[in-house]
Structure 1
Amino acid sequence: MKITNVDIYMLDAGAQRASRRPICCRVWTDEGIYGDGEAGIAFDYAAPAGVGMLQDISRLVIGMDPMRVDEVWQRMFKISFWGQGGGPVVFAAISAIDIALMDIKGKALHVPVYELIGGKVNDSIRCYASQLQFGWNEDVGPRGTAEEYAAICRYAMDDGYDAVKLDFTMYDRDKKDIPNAQCEGFLSNDFYKMVEERIAAIREACGDVDIIMENHGRTDVTSAIKLGELCDKYNFYAYEEPTTPLRPEFQKLVRERVKTPLAAGERLYSRWQFLNYFEDNSIQLVQPDACNCGGISECKKICTMAEAFDVKAQIHCAGGPISTAAALQLTAATTNFAIYEHHFRSTQSSIARLGKYDYQPQNGNFSVSDRPGLGQELSEAAIAEALVHVTVSEP
């Protein structure tokens, strides 16, 4: 079997187009089997770069055997030159191709991807409702007051979830964006009080629900330690991206002062970048994204390495339907699995319609498809309405 060509798409997420432009690929073979992959840079500003990078990376794999996944991965990683720099755009492209190859291999062997990476160990996958400051399901819109934070968490719990994640630093009480500078250094008393008001309201309304505080790297060491006091005081499940991912030692400084387990990994690429965090015990919940850390094959290696350091795993997932399918296949075969992220954006029909199947949890738990390969592919509408479509057929 040989790879013959690669179709690359920037998908139209409709109502979410301004903040989400999923970048996907379909890798074709000379036996008619194809696989779909996704580059994990759908949101923010990198999506157009993902299209260009996928075009260049695809030229490296034309003519190769898609069943030899690690051989193809090494070629993309080393011959691309920029691969060993570990940047998000090049690794998102590598990831998309890798995911598509795992999809092809599963289809060729008539097994789900999880059977290719050790077999299923998790039948029912517990989820948390992620990024509730944006809303949940049909209840869309930013949150401001403490009462609104409590109400949206209660709404998610009524939907069957017993764990939630929120960024308490993103919006002020009037639902206006909080500048990054206000989240750094010496926090004002009013800022600190606002965050605690929200947390206390959630605890009162939702009892022992597991809460993850998400900072998106907006805080620095000084402010992260201060907010970490609240995580400890209110018994949080985890504390995510408290500092910039560019400096592993910063997160270690937070870990030395905060008891709540620290989570990070969605902006780390390849096993080499994760190793520093494992060695200094600055991550307790690792969150690699299969669509930007190097694909399914690399994400599996990262999770296995994490287990050797007593680190639990949660696959980061904030993209389109292919991203969800890849994350679920990995989670099914992850022995150190802790919890699964179901993102607010994934509850929206504008994202769900991009996949042939709409995967949603039931009562806060996912089951994993036993269809061959990923168990998901791009919908006909996603392909027909793509904002960009490029085909690569020559090295």
Structure 2
Amino acid sequence: MTDPTRVPVVIGVGDLRSGRAGSPADPREPLDLIHEATASALTDTGVDRDDLVSRIDTIRAIKTASWSYDDLPGLLGERLGARAVHTSTTPIGGHWPAALLDRIAHDIAHGTSSVALLVGGEAQASVTNAFKKGTDPASLGWTTAPGGPPAFDPDDLGSPAMQRAGMIAPTRVYPLFENRLSHELGHTREQSIDWSAELYAAFSEIAGNNPAAWNPTLRTADDIRTAGPGNRMVTDPYPLLCNAMPFVDQAAAVVVTSLATARELGVADDHLLYVWGGAGATETPDVLARAELGRSAALADSLRRTLEATDLRPGDFDIVDAYSCFPVVPKLLVEHLGLPRDTVPSVTGGHSFFGGPLNSYTLHSV
């Protein structure tokens, strides 16, 4: 029988939005949003908050891009009254929520962590609105020591070759993947757009039922496929409604512990989510140096090893979710898994409609 002290389980989750598309709330910094989401996750566990906080030994944070923190886990721990001994903040990357959940589960399985928090959030809507009004968020009391406006790293623009080719923005790179995938599948431009529009219309419906969604207004496939006022063409074949929406105020938090600790705390068995395992792989960030543009070798390898480790087949899943910044990413997931093309791989509603809090988007999916 498996030692219950080594079985990682999620016991609490929380996510939120502040304001929504077209109706911004008063400016709030990411730390405030993350603290509120964490408080919600702690409440969601259904156990005594003080007892749970006293046991937190790990806080892992997804990098916040809208405001800079030198030590986000430390600031959050101070607010909670938690004395975590293991803390870290990721680099930039939308894969980090899944990667950190896997790392936390690994640490619990190996006995080096007992109760862990995984957190992330953005307030790009607040930052953008404040600067449009000529207001420095720091003047509103936002954390500046340690913290402040995000720093710009020229290396984030991509390789010199990408910069020369003008392939330095996601709005340029992902359409390149989309067009290559369509070519390899034998799709015409219209077929590619139709698949994107039908997929994102389904995403919009999911977002409409998600209380944390930034833009829950229902959009039809015709709304999405038709470029025009309010849905301008950004980079062919993606009109605006097929692009990620990073100007959001959203945050999420997850509480992970061992099965033994969860039972000791009194968490009900039907409130436990078992973390089975995962796998990760990386590709060169230099897009123009990749051998293929119509598929993702890293995605294919990660999926293969995850299925092998869990002894599952693609058809066994009730829920499939993709980091859906642009339609090509969920399309690639469906293709790599060999799922029917009418599969809707989202539980939140995608970046365009749920909202795209950058690196922490998939934490909301969790």
TM-score by length of 1: 0.28
| Higher relative contact order (CA closer than 8 Å, sequence separation 6+) | 2
The two structures have a TM-score, normalised by structure 2, of 0.30
